[in-house]
Structure 1
Amino acid sequence: MIQNDSYSEFTATILSPARAAKAQFRAFVVLPKHVSEKLPRRGRTSVTGHINGVAFQATLEPDGQLSHWFALSEPLLNAAGSSIGSVANFDIAAVEQEPEPELPADLQQALAASAEASAVWHDTTTIARLDWIHWVTSAKQAKTRAKRVSDACNMLAEGKRRVCCFDPSGFYSKAFSAPKAATD
């Protein structure tokens, strides 16, 4: 199911990340701000949509500017007849129910070791779990990530259902941003 009030149509240029060797994707799109404004949240948000008429589902990432971006797979680009630098037609709408996020192995292992943290984890909403995962995976260094996994389990074991002091949009912390586009 989709949220019809979040439906938008737009055109966007297909971009390539400047650091293609480090990126886990070859192409991405930044949503126009007026499209992001119709979505239910500034943080990670799942959508269904079409690129040049070809269906897809994606999790949009916050860009730190109160908008979103998302990666495009090579098979999707090929099916849509698009390439880097081309302009494509999009339509998107937020999914009504966020899909259950994939639990990173390190966080899954830590939760399995703490019955109290695991109980609170399973009693939170999907959106709250998505924010916890986003906070953990947004760490840029392995040491920071390990500390966040530990801190998350401690906070959950204490009964905290939402990660504190975390702006999932990246607007205030600037922790998140769209990839820098390559310039030719």
Structure 2
Amino acid sequence: MPRTIEKIAFKATLQRPAEPKDATWTFLVLPSGASAKLPARGMVTVEGTLAGQSFQATLEPDGEGSHWLKVDKALHESAGVDAGDTVALEVAPVREEPEPKVPPDVRKALADHPAAMATWQDITAIARRDWIHWITSGKKAETRVKRIATACDMLGSGKRRACCFDRSGKYSRGNMGAPRAADRKA
């Protein structure tokens, strides 16, 4: 029996991120009551409306038990809203998780490791998204290179999930969480 997907309605305030200074996007943090209705504390792909404009996006954990949404320039402009505005949203989890975008360096490494590629093709889209997030969440270039090699080794040996990955962001706030909002007075 297909699961029923209920829409979650709420209001939130759009914020401008402090970094990068020239960001053209905004973001919002879901109220805890709205976030609690989602099926997971980790990343959740939703479809819905923001100020009447349709969108699909992946909500990310904020490390505090809720989620945040990056609102790209096209969406906030088409909705006629900007940082500081309180907006009405209605969201629902998608029925099927979309395929994640695989960065070129990860795609090449997988192509060079047939056993890793075989496992990669056999795991779920959510598992692939988690691997990509774990690989790309390192702050240094050398960390990313090391994680790609480690991921290929683990996938090649049949491991299906990224090791030690905190999907909620609660225990790894340095790697996950909502952006810091820019000071509106600046």
Matched ranges for 1:138-153 at <5 A: 138-153=137-152
Structure 1 portions without partners, runs of 5+: none
Length-normalised TM-score, structure 1:
0.93
**What secondary structure does 1:4 align onto?**
coil
Report the identity percentage. 48
CA distance in 2, matches of 1:22, 1:145: 25
> What amino acid does structure 1 have at the position aligned with 2:17?
P
Cα drift, residue 168 of structure 1: 1.6
What value does the CA root-mean-square deviation take over the aligned residues?
Answer: 1.6
**What secondary structure does 1:162 align onto?**
coil
Which string of whole-angstrom CA distances, capped at 9 and with x for unpartnered residues, describes residues 126-177 of structure 1? 1111110111111111111111111000000111001111112111122211
**What secondary structure does 2:135 align onto?**
helix
Matched ranges for 1:11-160 at <5 A: 11-21=11-21, 23=23, 25-160=24-159
Structure 2 portions without partners, runs of 5+: none
Residues 3 and 80 of structure 1: is their aligned pair in 2 closer, same or farther, counting only changes over 3 Å? farther
CA distance in 2, matches of 1:10, 1:59: 17
Which string of whole-angstrom CA distances, capped at 9 and with x for unpartnered residues, describes residues 1-40 of structure 1? 99524x21111111000123375x4211111122111112
Matching residue of 1:10: 10
CA distance in 2, matches of 1:84, 1:34: 22
Residues 71 and 40 of structure 1: is their aligned pair in 2 closer, same or farther, counting only changes over 3 Å? same
Matching residue of 2:178: 178
> What amino acid does structure 2 have at the position aligned with 1:16?
R
User: Where in structure 1 do 4 or more consecutive aligned residues deviate above 4 Å?
Assistant: none
For the 8 Å contact 1:63–1:170, the answer to whether it is kept is yes
Q: How many residues align?
A: 182
Which string of whole-angstrom CA distances, capped at 9 and with x for unpartnered residues, describes residues 89-124 of structure 1? 111011010001011111111000000000011011
CA distance in 2, matches of 1:21, 1:114: 39
> What amino acid does structure 2 have at the position aligned with 1:51?
L
CA distance in 2, matches of 1:27, 1:100: 24
> What amino acid does structure 2 have at the position aligned with 1:4?
I
For the 8 Å contact 1:13–1:29, the answer to whether it is kept is yes
For the 8 Å contact 1:2–1:48, the answer to whether it is kept is no
**What secondary structure does 1:136 align onto?**
helix
